[in-house]
Amino acid sequence: MASRAEPDDTGGRRDWRDVARDAADLALLGILLTVAAVPLCTAAAAAGTASAAVHDWTRTGSWPSARATVRRFGRSVLPGVPVSLLTLTVAGLLAADLAALATGRVPGGSPALLVTALVAAGLTGYAGLVVVEVGGNGGGRWRAAARSAARACLDAPARWAALTGVTALAGLLAVLVTPVAVPILAGYTVAALHAVAGRPVPGRVAGHGPAPAHPELP
């Protein structure tokens, strides 16, 4: 993966080659993330390592070395196994509940389906912020990232809603695009989560109100 740092021979402007290189780097990141997550129990480690790489990229303009990335992934595998299993279990239960409500196999009708869908969407937005937060601490401290993300969601509901929108859009695109493009979409989704989490909250006055969800991001 290439660096975004370029000589100042164009006045700091980025041209189409820089954009194309960034797009290719993110596509490769998504492919590697998907391959690393194939055993399922390594999904959390793969997501955390990819998020840490994007965190470095957004801060320094350069991707971490392959050796540093492999080292991060190796350290994150065992701590990430319970996270992977918990995430897969919750996702499976919500999917089964939504399917049962949509087909009328359980009572509740449209109101229950809507509430369940909103809960599922909110949880995916929260999970997206957890992924961003764990990327900022090196890719393996999930408990600390979960606590930080929970506080950030309560402090800045607008950011939580925006992250929910990112994850919902990514899920919709994953259904619409050809399956071979889904791994590429994963890299773009991680980058989008970091971009949204790093945006300032509208209406906040400097020095007042809760801190940003991820203050180190640009």
Q: pLDDT by residue (tens digit) across 204-214? A: 444 444 444 44
Is the pLDDT reported for residue 2 higher than 60?
Answer: no
Q: What local confidence, expressed as pLDDT, does residue 129 receive? A: 95
CA dist 216 and 46 (Å) reads 22
Structure confidence by residue, pLDDT tens digits, 124-166: 999 999 999 999 888 778 999 999 999 999 999 999 999 999 9
Q: What local confidence, expressed as pLDDT, does residue 25 receive? A: 93
Structure confidence by residue, pLDDT tens digits, 42-73: 999 999 999 999 999 999 889 999 999 999 99
Is the pLDDT reported for residue 31 higher than 90?
Answer: yes
Give the confidence band of 110 by pLDDT, cuts at 50, 70, 90.
confident
Structure confidence by residue, pLDDT tens digits, 69-86: 999 999 999 999 999 999
Q: Which amino acid is at 40?
A: L
Q: What local confidence, expressed as pLDDT, does residue 214 receive? A: 47
Mean pLDDT across the stretch 111-121? 91
Mean pLDDT across the stretch 190-200? 90
Give the confidence band of 3 by pLDDT, cuts at 50, 70, 90.
low
> Do residues 197 and 213 make contact, with C-beta atoms less than 8 angstroms apart?
yes
Is the pLDDT reported for residue 14 higher than 80?
Answer: no
| DSSP track, the chain | -------GGGTT---HHHHHHHHHHHHHHHHHHHHHHTTSTTHHHHHHHHHHHHHHHHHHSSPPPHHHHHHHHHHHHHHHHHHHHHHHHHHHHHHHHHHHHHHTSSTTHHHHHHHHHHHHHHHHHHHHHHHHHHHHTTS--HHHHHHHHHHHHHH-HHHHHHHHHHHHHHHHHHHHS-GGGHHHHHHHHHHHHHHHHTSPPTTPPTTSSPPPSSTT--
Mean pLDDT rounded to a whole number for the chain: 86
Give the confidence band of 1 by pLDDT, cuts at 50, 70, 90.
low
Is the pLDDT reported for residue 10 higher than 60?
Answer: no
Q: What local confidence, expressed as pLDDT, does residue 153 receive? A: 93
Give the confidence band of 190 by pLDDT, cuts at 50, 70, 90.
very high
